[in-house]
């Protein structure tokens, strides 16, 4: 049986899962109840530190808040990275509440309303412009208020990030401005007095585990940025080259090696240094920085047998962790890494299905998985749960309390 990469990195000699030194018992007391998400601060610090060592020093690192917008996590990130990327006014508030300089915050996202654009302009953050019409609205709002909007053009590239979990660039997309339309738009910006064009934003996709695909997309990103810089006629202040680095969720998926990504980027920087020397480069990441640091901890309420199958009935489920459930049954569901948190050192001895408390067969936490024999009161823990968990789940569905979140 293929094991999860995330399980292999646990200490399996001790029965108890410790999260940054805390036992599940003590975390349950601190949370006041199960289920809860616990995010390991030291893991986040190590991940960011390691990636910074692996990436060329010229490449700045931004955190995309939507991966995990818990204010304490964002506060921690604001101290570890060079900038925060937000995609709504709610996220903008969380970002600015950390005390970060507005110049280090950027605001991307399609279908921004005028009040959102006004909030971004008024706060002095960088706006990643998603369409020519949005650019016009920004100019009108900035003009009305006598302010200058700092903008970057988000480019929908003329290539794709291959083998991505989620493609957000290439072909017809609701995100960004088609690359072939950018030169004409740049020309209109030469005389604009209400916007200050700072750079480009080129984001292709998300959840990619293939260093070769990322390298190819990076090479194409640099080529596209060079062509657009040549058209603009002077170096941009900053270029955001996107991110897309993924983490392994399913059995047999390999972890991505940040060192390989770093080497590939260093080579590209060498090739492109003649036109890039005065431009700040930024990579924006969410999941890769926080995803592996998070644990969703729930408790087994009872064991239940039905016609030869064993169910572990748990107090946590898809209302807190939609992605783990398989997104309402829309995709072929695979199991996230799951452990019995107080029996780490026991061998798998039975095949069970872990089911949540919602009145739907889709509320599956683990489907026919081999686990050590677990009893009521044991903790069932879903690993790789630090990104797109609590905030990306239908918390109101069926009226259970929302998940508690702890940064420990
Ligand atoms: C969602 C998003 C990210 C973060 O993606 P991850 O896969 O979590 O790294 C970064 N940039 C933009 C523009 C996004 O929309």
Asked whether 33 and 297 are in contact (CB, 8 A), the reply is no
Average pLDDT over residues 321-346: 92
Average pLDDT over residues 112-137: 97
Among 319, 314, 318, 311, CA closest to 299: 314
Answer yes or no: is the C-beta of 62 below 6 A from any ligand 1 atom: no
Predicted local confidence at residue 169, as pLDDT:
82
Phi/psi at 273 (5° precision): -65, -25
Answer yes or no: is the C-beta of 66 below 6 A from any ligand 1 atom: yes
Answer yes or no: is the C-beta of 176 below 6 A from any ligand 1 atom: no
Q: How many CB atoms lie within 10 A of CB 1?
A: 7
Q: How many CB atoms lie within 10 A of CB 338?
A: 24
Question: How far is residue 315 CA from its own chain's centroid?
Answer: 26
Peptide bond connecting 35 to the previous residue in cis, omega within 30 degrees of 0: yes
Query: Could you tell which of 51, 64, 386 is best to mutate to test the pocket of ligand 1, judged by most ligand atoms within 8 Å of the CB?
Result: 64
Burial class (CB in 10 A: 0-12, 13-18, 19+), 186: middle
* Residue 51 to residue 305: CA distance in whole angstroms: 46
- Helix, strand and coil percent figures for the chain, each rounded to 5: 35, 25, 40
Does residue 393 surpass a pLDDT of 90?
A: yes
Predicted local confidence at residue 168, as pLDDT:
77
Predicted local confidence at residue 328, as pLDDT:
81
Does residue 295 surpass a pLDDT of 90?
A: yes
Average pLDDT over residues 48-57: 98
313: left (phi over 0), alpha (psi -120 to 50) or beta: beta
Answer yes or no: is the C-beta of 68 below 6 A from any ligand 1 atom: no
pTM over 0.95: yes
């Amino acid at each position: 049986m293929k094991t999860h990469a995330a399980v292999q990195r646990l200490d399996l000699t001790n029965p108890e899962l410790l999260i940054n030194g805390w036992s599940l018992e003590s975390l349950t007391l601190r949370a006041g109840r199960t289920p809860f998400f616990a995010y390991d601060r030291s893991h986040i610090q190590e991940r960011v530190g390691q990636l910074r060592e692996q990436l060329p020093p010229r490449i700045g690192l931004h955190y995309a808040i939507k991966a995990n917008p818990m204010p304490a996590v964002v506060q921690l990130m604001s101290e570890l990275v060079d900038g925060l990327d937000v995609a709504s006014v709610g996220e903008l508030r969380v970002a600015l509440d950390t005390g970060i300089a507005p110049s280090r915050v950027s605001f991307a996202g399609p279908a921004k309303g005028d009040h959102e654009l006004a909030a971004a302009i008024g706060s002095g953050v960088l706006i990643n412009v998603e369409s020519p019409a949005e650019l016009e609205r920004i100019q009108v709002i900035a003009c009305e208020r006598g302010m200058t909007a700092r903008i970057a053009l988000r480019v929908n590239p003329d290539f794709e990030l291959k083998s991505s979990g989620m493609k957000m660039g290439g072909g017809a997309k609701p995100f960004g401005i088609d690359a072939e339309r950018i030169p004409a738009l740049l020309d209109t910006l030469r005389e604009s007095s209400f916007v200050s064009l700072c750079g480009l934003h080129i984001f292709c996709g998300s959840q990619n585990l293939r260093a070769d695909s990322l390298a190819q997309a990076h090479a194409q990103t640099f080529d596209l940025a060079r062509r657009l810089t040549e058209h603009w006629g002077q170096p941009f202040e900053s270029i955001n080259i996107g991110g897309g680095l993924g983490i392994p969720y399913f059995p047999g998926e390999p972890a991505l090696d940040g060192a390989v990504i770093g080497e590939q980027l260093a080579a590209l920087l060498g090739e492109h240094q003649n036109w890039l020397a005065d431009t700040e480069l930024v990579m924006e990441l969410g999941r890769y920085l926080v995803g592996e640091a998070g644990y969703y901890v729930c408790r087994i309420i009872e064991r239940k047998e039905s016609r030869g199958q064993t169910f572990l009935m748990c107090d946590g489920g898809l209302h807190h962790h939609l992605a783990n459930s398989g997104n309402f049954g829309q995709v072929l569901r695979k199991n996230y890494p799951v452990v019995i948190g107080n029996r780490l050192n026991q061998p798998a001895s039975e095949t069970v299905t872990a089911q949540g408390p919602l009145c739907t067969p889709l509320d599956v936490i683990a489907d026919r998985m081999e686990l050590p024999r677990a009893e009521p009161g044991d903790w069932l823990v879903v690993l790789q749960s630090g990104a797109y968990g609590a905030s990306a789940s239908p918390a109101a569905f069926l009226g259970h309390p929302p998940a508690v979140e702890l940064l420990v």
